[in-house]
Structure 1
């Protein structure tokens, strides 16, 4: 029974019509989710609108000089994609070697590389809220693609996401104007192809964007699944990597992943680990870490990550921060005493922390800022945004384009985009991934922030809740209950009934 819990949580987050309507409402001006508009932006089938914009299909973005359809046999044969494909093949070989005894069912690469498979545009997401990362302060726009296999007659999605990240500004347009265009588009009544045409019109938010704005390619694929057997639950592992275009080789090469802490390297090289600890616990870095705006130097980062799902039921060594910090961790790189001392220094300097109030909160944030740790918060694989599956039968379509995490974070993102539009200083701080900030709470009424399956602060001996999670409460009728495998963190899940 318990092996189906993770799937049940996902289904509960996806099927409720009220949540579907909420997702579309709160993301207006922040994401493009209309499947007909996305299909038009992908294929550009209608050319009578007076716009010369080629659209945002993978061919237009990665092979703009060609007019041939870019199915996956041609996509992965492009010279620019040679290193990316080789890296994928190496990762599959590495994974298979490491899991021989578990007999995993590997992702079908033959289908991925086949001429019957194509990537389709599943969503476009405004991430101007990441202005604190971008050198120009304007953040990013993300083009999210999912592979579709047409070989079986009925199109079938493969469990993978390819994400092209664009710099938000282009053609000399100022950040304020970019923000204004996106928020204005959120007020348009247009849908479908009409919406697509307005988005790429001369004054539309997508008009300046194209291949020249590409910053990187990100991938997230379900590299393998392992069936439930005696003593072990069902498990799915996801491979994540990031690639940037190298001007010398003219290829997309694997690069360090943002904030993906290389725990193995830090634990193996204690001198390097000590330098990381010293850097992280500096007051200014500790404060940024708390706010969720810290950027970890590349010397401490990995170029690949495997995220196991459901995380609550997997071995603790798969968690990114395991062995680095956390209550109960043997010989941690960063001890509870180190964290308590950092908290005291912050208090003495008058730094008001928003999220981290204990060693457990510190360890949670250390996981939370990594790609794999974020993935393991029972969010939806694929950057929390699978998109509405327009290729599936209506009865089996995903009803919501984004995860509850995605929905819950929209008020914060909107505040930031509005501040940039209005010339105000934006507040880039964010809560934990699985517990968005309370600002905009009324806009999230009806989401899973505190509903069935949500993370919550679990009471320990004496009925006390860890101070980092004291406000992680459950909705009326639900109680915070323990989940097997999560004992290292004082966090449970909201369920019906009592312990």
Structure 2
């Protein structure tokens, strides 16, 4: 790395701190969840002790009520493997065995256009984790503490950009000297929750390889209390449908030329009166689910009038405008090239079990968007005006077109979404409503490739939508198709490990029946059940340069190689199977 001289370098430093060893040290030096969220005098390692803060109690109570409401709506929904519909166990939030681990510090200077009086945001991301006498694992829940980065007295953000450079240098060279004050004057903006609230196994949703819901809430500080806040660019669909005049007001607003230009740039902000205060995103096949497309749920394409398509960078058609708006909503963004409903999960600690380990700590969207964010940072650092355009989550600004990339199927808004030579654009899910785009696929399917294609039958209730008319796509002669009904979204080509080609590697494939029986009936630890119920098979090898396709995660395979597998094959990405030890059950703080 180059040292700072005049405060400007030829190339910006990375905008993420994600080394788990360094982050654990920083958490002991003022960056812990308890200190950053509740101004605790020292780090608090147990959620049971966090319950001593009234603000934390308030958040736990609100989330517990949300989960109870889900249970009331679904009589099959309950905590544990014995239920067909599995619920997040809210007791982890007040457990002496659980804590929130710092997994990332992210510079979002590029968020500056959304609040001109600030220099963007710093985000401190925490994962819920637990350590029992026999098991350590993280859980599918993140809390994102968002802090405003303040402008300097000269109203310039150059100083804030320089502070990040110095902060990052200190983190990499002398982490023992780092503290939050090194990022300048920070002001807490919000506490953002994303948790997997519900999961159904593939035996219950065989058409998609499983089902999951993710609950999203935002809280804003009010003294030592927290106010439930509206969700950015996420319309309250039910309320707007119940109030036709308000819905029509939103439609008129969307059809305004100046607003459409902001939508095209990815910089629009819906007025608060239209916004929801809670949301759920659903997986799998998230890009094609109506529940993740609130604007499509509200408006037909015939109601949308694109005013100046020639002046737009992306939005050329009503479908393109709705797609762009959906992607700017919380549920749309969280299912756009995400990892099991998340964009940042963090690097695993060294003690993470090998069968529960992630190779890539962030989503394809997050990784592919870093170059744009770094260019933004560099421009501000050099005193220049940055380019404000923010691309849609499923397609990066540059460098796209490889296998697994989203591509256009004829709509004028997506004509630039082409595939690299040797690939062709195909729909894995035929969808005439939410997303009329495809996926770049090789002409010869390799291990990990999709082998089942279907059509989405939409329903506003995600429990009732279906993938129908599933047909087969050929694998190579020495391979077979791992079926969607046993947990492989869109099917997955695999075979023996003897004829591996470039881009393939050997890994372990779970044997569904034995694995589920081991967890639900025998109740052995997850890693033991998985190690006892696997067989070798060829898988797609993955890395940041060669990511997995939608609905697959780059997990850690043999010899530290990345392998693409369905996300819910990893213990840390599912709410079910995490068993409380008997001696722990009396240690939870009771709450509503």
Which runs of structure 2 are paired with 1:85-484 in the superposition (5 Å)?
A: 85-101=60-76, 103-169=84-150, 175-183=157-165, 188=169, 191=172, 194-197=173-176, 199-200=178-179, 204=182, 206=183, 208=184, 213-228=187-202, 229=204, 232-233=207-208, 234-247=210-223, 250-312=224-286, 315-325=289-299, 332=300, 335-336=301-302, 338-340=304-306, 342-343=307-308, 347=310, 352-381=311-340, 383-390=342-349, 391-393=351-353, 396-438=356-398, 441=399, 449-458=400-409, 465-484=410-429
Instruction: Give the direction of change, closer, same or farther, for the CA distance of 1:240–1:393 in structure 2 (3 Å limit).
Output: same
Residues 1:494 and 2:476 are matched in the alignment: no
- How many residues are matched? 424
The structural deviation recorded for 1:424 is 1.8
The structural deviation recorded for 1:170 is 7.5
SS in 1 for 2:238: helix
Q: Mean alpha-carbon deviation: is it higher for 282-291 or for 57-66?
A: 57-66
C-alpha separation between the residues in 2 aligned to 1:497 and 1:312? 25
State the TM-score, normalized to the length of structure 1: 0.78
SS in 2 for 1:168: strand
CA contact (8 A) 1:312 1:486 kept: no
Instruction: Give the direction of change, closer, same or farther, for the CA distance of 1:244–1:466 in structure 2 (3 Å limit).
Output: same
More helix by share: 1
C-alpha separation between the residues in 1 aligned to 2:274 and 2:180? 43
The structural deviation recorded for 1:436 is 1.6
CA contact (8 A) 1:161 1:382 kept: no
C-alpha separation between the residues in 2 aligned to 1:275 and 1:122? 41
Instruction: Give the direction of change, closer, same or farther, for the CA distance of 1:170–1:63 in structure 2 (3 Å limit).
Output: farther
Match of residue 33 from structure 1: 18
SS in 1 for 2:103: strand
Instruction: Give the direction of change, closer, same or farther, for the CA distance of 1:312–1:70 in structure 2 (3 Å limit).
Output: closer
SS in 1 for 2:199: strand
SS in 1 for 2:359: coil
C-alpha separation between the residues in 2 aligned to 1:293 and 1:475? 29
C-alpha separation between the residues in 2 aligned to 1:85 and 1:110? 9
SS in 2 for 1:321: helix
SS in 2 for 1:100: coil
Instruction: Give the direction of change, closer, same or farther, for the CA distance of 1:80–1:431 in structure 2 (3 Å limit).
Output: same
CA displacement, residues 267-310 of structure 1 (integer Å, 9 cap, x when unaligned)? 22110011111112222111111100011111010000000011
C-alpha separation between the residues in 2 aligned to 1:238 and 1:201? 30
Instruction: Give the direction of change, closer, same or farther, for the CA distance of 1:393–1:475 in structure 2 (3 Å limit).
Output: farther
CA contact (8 A) 2:199 2:213 kept: yes
C-alpha separation between the residues in 2 aligned to 1:355 and 1:156? 42
C-alpha separation between the residues in 1 aligned to 2:62 and 2:278? 10
Instruction: Give the direction of change, closer, same or farther, for the CA distance of 1:96–1:422 in structure 2 (3 Å limit).
Output: same
C-alpha separation between the residues in 2 aligned to 1:480 and 1:27? 35
State the TM-score, normalized to the length of structure 2: 0.67
SS in 1 for 2:197: strand
CA displacement, residues 404-425 of structure 1 (integer Å, 9 cap, x when unaligned)? 1111111211122222222222
Instruction: Give the direction of change, closer, same or farther, for the CA distance of 1:246–1:180 in structure 2 (3 Å limit).
Output: same
CA displacement, residues 299-329 of structure 1 (integer Å, 9 cap, x when unaligned)? 010000000011348753453223223xxxx
C-alpha separation between the residues in 1 aligned to 2:56 and 2:142? 16
SS in 1 for 2:234: coil
| CA RMSD, 1 decimal | 2.6
SS in 1 for 2:198: strand
Match of residue 49 from structure 1: none
Instruction: Give the direction of change, closer, same or farther, for the CA distance of 1:484–1:497 in structure 2 (3 Å limit).
Output: same
C-alpha separation between the residues in 1 aligned to 2:437 and 2:228? 35
CA contact (8 A) 1:41 1:56 kept: yes
Instruction: Give the direction of change, closer, same or farther, for the CA distance of 1:181–1:282 in structure 2 (3 Å limit).
Output: same
C-alpha separation between the residues in 2 aligned to 1:71 and 1:166? 23
The structural deviation recorded for 1:224 is 0.8
Instruction: Choose between structure 1 and 2 for higher RCO, CA contacts under 8 A separated by at least 6 residues.
Output: 1
Rg larger in structure: 2
C-alpha separation between the residues in 2 aligned to 1:292 and 1:201? 30
C-alpha separation between the residues in 1 aligned to 2:390 and 2:438? 21
The match for 1:73 among 48, 51, 64 is: 48
C-alpha separation between the residues in 1 aligned to 2:292 and 2:76? 17
CA displacement, residues 198-254 of structure 1 (integer Å, 9 cap, x when unaligned)? 64397x4x3x35xx621110000000101223664311110011000123xx31121
